[in-house]
Amino acid sequence: MKTWLPHTQNRPKILIVDDQLSNIRVLHELFREDCDVFMATSGEQAITICQAQLPDLILLDVVMDDVDGHEVCRRLKAAPATQGIPIIFITAKQQDIDVVLGLELGAVDFISKPINPVIVKARVRTHLTLKLQYDLLRSFALVDGLTGVANRRKFDEDISADWRKCLREQKPLSLILADVDFFKRYNDRYGHQAGDVCLKSVAQTLSETVRRPYDLVARYGGEEFACVLPKTDYFGAVEIAERMQKKVRALGIEHSTSDVNSVVTISLGVATMTPTGDLEFKELIDAADQQLYRAKKTGRARVCASVTPEMPLSVPRC
């Protein structure tokens, strides 16, 4: 059967929310062949699934016993991680005041009960297409034009979101800041075009060193890169940083004006924190930056690392 959805590399994710199982079954049957379908029978369950799965579209019943659809919409639109998910209300209420309230809360459309499968599919297709186009354009805006890794804006968004998630789950969050040693000298000696090629090679190598889909490598600025590692403890982060350092050196990019090696090297600072209500993610950035400063001041081409003072596991790696 030819799919009714626009071409995309991944199957869209749809969340169906209704406290009546019969309604969920009807909608599930419409979308199961073309989408990954998640189901919730209460408002609280819907919010939990949204936070974990980040669906591309939500079909949300308005009238539910515990938390109604309006309140679910209100809470999802108030949270940075879920506020961009389009919501289509499914309701038997047809009065203008209900439609206006839903739109004011952030819904993109309404579907009336009883459900007409043709209309439902058409509207879902329209809003999924818009969402996929928006995601594509947004992804271009979050990529560094030179190196192809994430840019500073993407880094800022991800470390903030990862901090909140690790705070909820009480998991450690690690950050690596890396700087290409004596890069200004490299540009002066080999030229800016060669410098661009060097940065691309370093960025690709750093990206290849991390394996999990939720780890992030970003260009932090100039010749500096950042790696955000959610749910990674101190020892895991140090191991990754040391692997990065060795792999960049193994590229063998000539650097005759470096004071530490005849090839391009990097200095790295590592910090690990388990978020608490008293801390902010900027403190993690400051801690990693301090360790990078140590690495550069104590000879470069090395890893320096620390954990928060509250953790007795602090072992410098310089």
| Measured distance CA(202)–CA(261) in Å, rounded | 16
Judge whether 223 counts as a catalytic residue: yes
Tell me the residue type at 63: V
Q: Which of these, 148, 165, 205, lies nearest to 81 by C-alpha position?
A: 165
Count CB-CB contacts under 10 A for residue 293.
15
Q: Which of these, 146, 309, 305, lies nearest to 221 by C-alpha position?
A: 146
- Which residue in 169, 223, 254, 283 is the catalytic one? 223
Count CB-CB contacts under 10 A for residue 171.
15
End-to-end CA distance of the chain: 60
Angle at 177 between CA 169 and CA 220, to 5 degrees: 100
The secondary structure of 103-169, three-state, reads HHHCCCEEEECCCCHHHHHHHHHHHHHHHHHHHHHHHHHCECCCCCCECHHHHHHHHHHHHHHHHHH
Look at the block and give the residue holding tokens 């954990």.
Answer: 307
| CB of 85 closer than 8 Å to CB of 55 | yes
Q: Catalytic residues, which ones?
A: 223
